[in-house]
């Protein structure tokens, strides 16, 4: 199933895509859908322009994974401005503020006064569906409700300027496209068999399979939940593959007017223009 948030009758409401229509659900948002079993309260025609970010209300900051494709880790060696580290033995986690989220076709709020180094990062994201702590690898995928796409647009100079930690350089308001829907885990099947791409102005910049992950989805969930409770509606980005602008020779960063497409064979497509805030 594909769950969406759509604008309808002056509100943004949850629904399920079904044969060219959206079945509207009796819930406030998709986090409430995960928590309960809402009934269908209406039906409207599906229109792409009505789609909004599938998740906007979070119980905590957005959870993220860094350096989770070895080719991406290696391509950035010597380009981290003195902040290089050895290849990690465990997943690297960080968070983003929730106000980064925009819809699947909204503009990315670019501002040259904030950063001179705006970079793209196509990612598969997962949504937790069951509360869990100290989750074993063998049962980790049972805690996933569904998968969606994100682009972890980052400001590299801010990322370096604050001690090498990533919160500030990845938490600028209205910069992370999310969506276009959440595909339930049963429909996606094996999360290590998802094709992921990022295009800028029609040029393929990133092209990878989740099979290339350093730590697979089950391992990410298990390690993140060690001593830490995960709850329904939590969003976890699973890392970006090689091809980022900061690692290119010469470096190339997003500019006003660029069109960024994040797409996947199983999860749909985000299309976002970089526009002055």
Domain residue limits, the chain: 1-52, 53-276
Looking at residue 122, what is its pLDDT?
98
Residues 5-39 have pLDDT tens digits of: 999 999 999 999 999 999 999 999 999 999 898 99
pLDDT in tens, 172-203: 999 999 999 999 999 999 999 999 999 999 99
Query: What is the percentage of the chain residues whose pLDDT exceeds 90?
Result: 88
pLDDT of the residue at 52: 98
Please give the pLDDT value at position 78: 61
In which residue are the tokens 């910069």 written?
Answer: 175
62 pLDDT exceeds 70? yes
Identify the band that residue 82 occupies on the pLDDT scale cut at 50, 70 and 90: low
- Please count the other Cβ atoms lying within 10 Å of the Cβ belonging to residue 5: 25
Q: Does pLDDT of 77 surpass 80? A: no
- CA 127 from chain centre, in angstroms, equals 10
Residue position matching structure tokens 């076709």: 105
CATH architecture of residue range(s) 53-276: Alpha-Beta Complex (3.90)
Average pLDDT, the chain: 95
- Please indicate whether residue 171 or residue 164 has the higher confidence score (pLDDT): 171
Pairing verdict, β 108-110 and 268-276: parallel
pLDDT in tens, 118-162: 999 999 999 999 999 999 999 999 999 999 999 999 999 998 888
Is 164 a residue whose pLDDT tops 80? Answer: no
The alpha carbon dihedral of 153, 214, 268, 258 has a sign of: positive
The predicted-structure confidence for 31-60, as pLDDT tens digits, reads as follows 999 989 899 999 999 999 999 999 998 889
Query: 237 is written with which tokens?
Result: 């980005």
At which residue do the structure tokens 């006064």 appear? 113
- Tell me what the mean pLDDT of segment 231-244 comes to: 97
Contact in structure between 167 and 178 (CB atoms under 8 Å): no
- Phi, psi (deg, nearest 5) at residue 237: -80, 140
Q: How far apart are CA 80 and CA 71, in angstroms?
A: 15
- What is residue 59's predicted lDDT score, i.e. its pLDDT? 87
What whole-number distance in Å separates Cα of residue 71 and Cα of residue 214? 9
Position 83 confidence tier, pLDDT thresholds 50, 70, 90: low
Stretch (H or E) spanning 181: strand 176-184
> Mean pLDDT across the stretch 195-218?
98
Q: What is the mean pLDDT of residues 217-240?
A: 98
* pLDDT score, position 213: 98
Note the pTM of the prediction, 2 decimals: 0.96
Predicted confidence at residue 80, as pLDDT, reads 61
Return the higher-pLDDT residue of 164 and 246: 246
DSSP one-letter code for 241:
-
Give mean pLDDT, residues 259-266.
98
């Amino acid at each position: 199933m594909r769950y969406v948030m759509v604008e309808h009758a002056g509100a943004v409401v949850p629904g399920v895509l079904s044969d060219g229509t959206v079945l509207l659900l009796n819930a406030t948002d998709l986090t409430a859908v995960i928590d309960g079993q809402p009934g269908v309260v209406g039906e409207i025609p599906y229109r792409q322009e009505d789609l909004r970010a599938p998740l906007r209300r979070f119980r905590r900051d957005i959870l993220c994974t860094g350096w989770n494709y070895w080719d991406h880790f290696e391509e950035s060696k010597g380009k981290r401005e003195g902040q290089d580290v050895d290849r990690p033995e465990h997943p690297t986690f960080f968070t983003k503020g929730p106000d980064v989220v925009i819809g699947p076709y909204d503009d990315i709020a670019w501002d040259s006064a904030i950063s001179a180094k705006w970079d793209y990062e196509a990612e598969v994201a997962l949504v937790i569906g069951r509360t869990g702590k100290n989750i074993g690898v063998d049962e980790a995928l049972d805690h996933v409700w569904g998968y969606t796409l994100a682009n972890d647009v980052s400001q590299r100079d801010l990322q370096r300027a604050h001690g090498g930690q990533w919160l500030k350089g990845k938490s600028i308001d209205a910069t992370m496209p999310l969506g276009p829907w959440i595909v339930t885990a049963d429909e996606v099947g094996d999360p290590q068999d998802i094709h992921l791409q990022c295009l800028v102005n029609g040029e393929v910049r990133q092209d990878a399979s989740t099979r290339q992950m350093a730590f697979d989805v089950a391992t990410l969930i298990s390690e993140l939940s060690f001593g830490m409770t995960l709850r329904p509606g939590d969003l976890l980005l699973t890392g970006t593959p090689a091809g980022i602008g900061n690692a290119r020779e010469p470096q190339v960063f997003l500019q006003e007017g660029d069109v960024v497409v994040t797409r996947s064979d199983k999860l749909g497509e985000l299309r976002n223009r970089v526009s002055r805030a």
